[in-house]
Amino acid sequence: MAALLNTVGMFDHDAIDSVGDGLQDALLPAMILLLLFKCDVRQIIRLGPKLLLTFVVTAASIMIGFILAYLIVHSALAPESWKALGALNASWTGGSANMVAVQNILEAPEDIFGYVLIVDTVLYSFWLLLIFSSVAVSDKFNRWTKADTSKFDFADRVTDEEEKPMTLSSIFGLLGFSLLVSALAAKAGEMLPEVGTVINASAWTILIVSIVGLIIGSTRWGRAAGSNQLATMMLYIIIGIIASGSDFTSLAEAPIYLVAGVIVFFVHIVIMLVYAKLTKTELFSIAVASTANIGGIASAPVVAGAFNRQLVPVGVLFALIGTFSGTFLGLWSAQLMSGIG
């Protein structure tokens, strides 16, 4: 709905950029912190190495998608389009920072790079909406793949009787505490050194609040009443902010690059469906791994929380892996695409 309203011109883009981005920067770390309350790291470790295999297959499927897409449409693209598509590959296997890094390394033409930025923004918004919608059909998907979801059942760890009743004061207390930790983590993230071009202040901020949240989750403070409800409210606000920056009319500005992006998504979906069926993988792992690649650290923990709040660390882990590997995967795919022309 927010994306549709923005498309018909109901939103002020300057207001979205100034207010919405600032609000998202404040709420995202706070939401991740609250989602990590009641998380048990030992349960995550017991999930085993299959999660990492799922992430690897997800990244590989996106790379294969780019190679096939370029093979199909490269005759209609500019000679150096492989550079911009390599940067887009870096974004869809890591994040925006990886994209910029590859664009700078390969010196992709700015006009072509502008087209892939449009494709990145629009298709990412569509994909995020699709992933969130998939939560409702996760049970049917898991029955289709015959996945064993018992390992994700943490319901016996904390019962409702252990929580105190939620009150207005508890909600405001959690809100103030989470925003305070978010602000302090952001300040600390700005002071920490950048590692290459991908580990920046934002990545440090998410990492800091994740550690704090896991520590609190192992104490009695993790049973604070209202953390789930408040985190859910923040989740909906963040989704609305993301969607409000999408403008469907921009699709007409880069049609051939949009076609290439759709082909990548189609190949990605087919490969992941085959993988899920053959390995009896549940929808949670597929969805979070895909979001960690295509969306990065800002959205993977959010999607993980939508499926199961106790699995938010999986989203953070996947996103951090993508942050490290995205640049190299983008450069690799660009090298392969350059040989096709």
Q: What is the pLDDT of residues 115-157, one digit of tens each?
A: 888 888 888 888 888 998 888 898 899 999 998 877 666 544 4
Q: What was the pLDDT predicted at 92?
A: 92
User: In the structure, what pLDDT confidence band is assigned to residue 278 with cuts at 50, 70 and 90?
Assistant: very high
**32 burial type by CB count under 10 A (0-12 exposed, 13-18 middle, 19+ buried):** buried
Residue 316 CA: distances (Å) to CA of 113, 211, 244, 280:
28, 11, 24, 23
In the chain, what percentage of residues exceed pLDDT 70? 78
d(CA 45, CA 55): 16
Is the pLDDT at 262 greater than 50? The verdict is yes
| Arithmetic mean of pLDDT, 224-231 | 77
Residue 277: predicted pLDDT? 94
Stretch 171-194: mean pLDDT: 88
Q: What is the pLDDT of residue 65?
A: 95
199 confidence band (pLDDT: 50, 70, 90): low
For the segment 44-98, what is each residue's pLDDT rounded down to a tens digit?
566 678 888 999 999 999 999 999 999 999 888 888 889 889 989 988 998 776 7
Q: What was the pLDDT predicted at 155?
A: 46
- pLDDT, position 268: 96
Q: What is the DSSP letter of 192?
A: S
Rounded to two decimals, what is the model's pTM? Answer: 0.67
Q: Do 103 and 132 form a contact (C-beta atoms < 8 A)? A: no
Give the C-alpha distances (Å, rounded to integers) separating 73 from 148, 255, 263, 309, 333: 40, 11, 10, 41, 16
What average pLDDT does this structure show over 244-259? Answer: 68
Reported as half-sphere exposure (CB side, CA atoms, 13 A), residue 201 has a value of 11
Q: In the predicted model, is pLDDT for residue 248 greater than 70?
A: no
Q: Does the pLDDT at position 205 exceed 90?
A: no
Give the residue numbers spanning the domain of 61: 2-7+16-152+161-340
309 vs 175 pLDDT, higher one:
175
pLDDT at 265 over 60: yes
The mean of the pLDDT values for the chain is 79
Q: For residue 283, list its beta bridge partners.
A: none
Range with the poorest average pLDDT among 31-40, 282-291, 324-333:
31-40
For 188, the token pair is: 């600390």
Other beta carbons less than 10 A from residue 318's beta carbon? 29
Residue 315 · residue 87 · CB < 8 Å: no
Q: What is the pLDDT of residue 42?
A: 62
Would you state the pLDDT for residue 341? Answer: 62
If one counts the domains in the chain, the total is 1
pLDDT of residue 40: 57
Q: What is the mean pLDDT of residues 265-289?
A: 93
pLDDT at residue number 59: 94
Residue 197: predicted pLDDT: 47
